[in-house]
A and B are shown apart, each in its own frame.
Chain A
C-alpha cells in the first residue's frame, strides 16, 4: 500500500472521492434490484419511487465530476493519482448511465404491469442478479486495486450476453405464435437489452480499473487477457 500524501487535504479529498464512488455504486445497484422487483412483483408504486430516486444518482454524478475537476485544478495529479481520478471520472459516467437504465426498466415495468402477465419472469431476475454482482465486483476491484477480480467481471459479461440472446429468441417466438403478444414481448426484450447494457457498463468500469492499477488499457480488445 502507498504511503499517505504529505498534503493532508489532498489525501482527504482522494478518500472522499473513493467513498462517493462506492456510495453511488451501492445506490445504483439497489436501484436495479428494486427496478426488477417492481417488474416481478408487479409493484407499480415501487417503480415510481425508483424513477423518483434517480435524481439522487444524477446529483452524485455532478458532485463527483466537480470533485475530480477540483482535484485536477488544485493538485495537478500525476501517475497513480492521475489514473485514479481519471478512472473515477469515467466510472461515475457509467454509474449514471446504469441509473438511467434502472429508470428505463421501471418505465417498461409500469407499462407491463397494466397488462396480463405474458410469462413468469425467470431469466430477467437472473440477468439482473449477475449484472448487479458485476457492478459490485467491479467497484470492489476498484477499491482493492484487484485486477484479477476486474478481469473476472469482464469475463462474466458473456453470461449476460447469452441470457439476452436467449430472451430475444424466446420473445420472437412469442410474437410469431401470437401477434397479440408483440407489445409485451417487445417490452420484455427491451428490459433484457437494458440489463445487457448495464453489464456492459460494469465491464467498462472493470476495464478502467485495470488501467488504473497497471497503466495499461485493455479496452476494445477482442479477447479478454488471462492475466495482466
Chain B
C-alpha cells in the first residue's frame, strides 16, 4: 500500500472522530434544537455563558459537569423555565425546528408543551389519581371526550413502560406508587401532551439501581419518538444512555461530541480530567 492509501485510511479514522462535532450529519438526522450564544443569569450572576450547541432529532444528548456548572440552568432555558425564577434573565437564541422560542409573541406555555420536562425528584400531583396525573396537562389543551382521554392515558403509560404495573389501579393516588414508578408516571404525564423534546434533569438521582435501569431502558425506547436531553451526575449513565455528550464547566460548554468519543478519547484536557476523576 502506498503512502496515499495510508493517508486515506488515517483520514477515515479522523473523519469518524470528527463527525460528532458537526451540527448537521445527514439529512435524516437534523438538529431539532439549535442553541446560539445562550447566556443565563440569576440577577447579576452569570450561570451559563455564551453556549452554542445543536441537539439532534430523536437522539439522546447528555449534559454532564460538576455541581454548579450550569447544566440544569442550561436545560431550563430550553423550555423557558429559567425565566420563572425571580431575577432570572436569558440572552441568546434557542431555535426549535427553526423557530425562536424567545421570539416576540411566543407563548411560554406552548413552548413547555412542545418541550416537556422531568425533574430530579418525582413530583406527581399529590391529590390526583394516577389517571388524572397522566392527563393533567393533556386535558388543559386537549379533548374532553372520555374515550380519547382513556386512550391517551393508556398510550402514555405504555410509552412510559408503566401500564402493566398500574392498569388495575388507575384511580389510586399517584403518590401511592414507588419512587421509580412515580418517576415513570411523571414521564407519562410529560409524554401525554406529545412533546417534541423531553428534558430530563437528573431523573434517576433519587432512584435505586433497578428503577434507574428501567428509566434508562425507557430512554432507549423513547428516542424513537422524542428528542431527549438529559442532565446527569452519573457519568456511566451518560455513557450508557446518550448518543451525544456535552461537558459543561463553570457555565461554559467545554466540549460536545459523540458520547463514545468523549468517553474514550476526549479532545479537551478539562473533559479528560473530569471523566477520569481528576477534579479535586
Contact = CB atoms under 8 A, between A and B. Distances in A.
B13 interface: yes
B5 A222 contact: yes
B263 A6 contact: no
Contacts of B276: 2, 5, 77-81
B280 A80 contact: no
Contacts of A214: 265
Residue of B273, B275, B277 with most chain A CB atoms under a 10 A cut-off? B277
A217 interface: yes
Contacts of B13: 216-217
A201 B265 CA distance: 25
Contact of A223 (B3, B17, B236, B271): B3
Contact of B279 (A6, A80, A215, A221): A6
Contacts of A174: none
B90 to A, nearest CB: 32
Given A223-B1, A223-B6, A225-B6, A2 B278 contact: yes
B266 interface: yes
A82 B235 CA distance: 14
Contact of B239 (A4, A78, A215): A78
Contact of B272 (A2, A6, A76, A221): A2
Contacts of A83: 264-265
B258 to A, nearest CB: 13
B217 to A, nearest CB: 19
B278 A5 contact: yes
Interface in B233-280: 235-236, 239, 263-266, 271-273, 275-280
Contacts of A115: none
B9 interface: yes
A4 B273 CA distance: 9
B216 to A, nearest CB: 15
Contact of A79 (B1, B3, B5, B272): B272
Contact of A221 (B9, B236, B273): B9
B25 interface: no
Contacts of B239: 78
Interface of chain B, main secondary structure = helix
Contacts of A10: 277
Contacts of A82: 263-264
Interface string B1-41: 11101100110010001000000000000000000000000
Contacts of B2: 223
Interface of chain A, main secondary structure = loop
A20 to B, nearest CB: 20
A215 to B, nearest CB: 3
Contact of B275 (A4, A78, A215, A225): A78
A79 B275 contact: yes
B277 A7 contact: yes
Contacts of A225: 6, 10
Contacts of A2: 272-273, 276, 278
B6 A222 contact: yes
Contacts of A6: 277-280
Given A78-B263, A79-B263, A79-B266, A4 B6 contact: no
Contacts of B277: 5-7, 10, 75
Nearest to B2: A223
A135 B45 CA distance: 56
Residue of B1, B265, B272, B279 with most chain A CB atoms under a 10 A cut-off? B265
B1 A222 contact: yes
Contact of B264 (A7, A78, A222): A78
A2 to B, nearest CB: 6
A223 B13 CA distance: 15
Residue of B239, B264, B276, B280 with most chain A CB atoms under a 10 A cut-off? B276
A83 B271 CA distance: 15
B265 A79 contact: yes
B274 to A, nearest CB: 9
A189 to B, nearest CB: 29
Closest 10 CB pairs of A and B: A215-B265, A222-B1, A78-B275, A6-B280, A223-B6, A81-B276, A78-B263, A79-B272, A3-B278, A5-B277
Interface of A: 2-7, 10, 75-83, 214-217, 221-223, 225
Interface of B: 1-3, 5-6, 9-10, 13, 17, 235-236, 239, 263-266, 271-273, 275-280
Given A2-B278, A79-B275, A223-B5, 20 more contacts: A2-B273, A2-B276, A4-B278, A5-B276, A6-B277, A6-B280, A78-B235, A78-B239, A79-B271, A81-B276, A83-B265, A215-B17, A216-B13, A216-B17, A221-B1, A222-B1, A222-B6, A223-B1, A223-B3, A225-B10
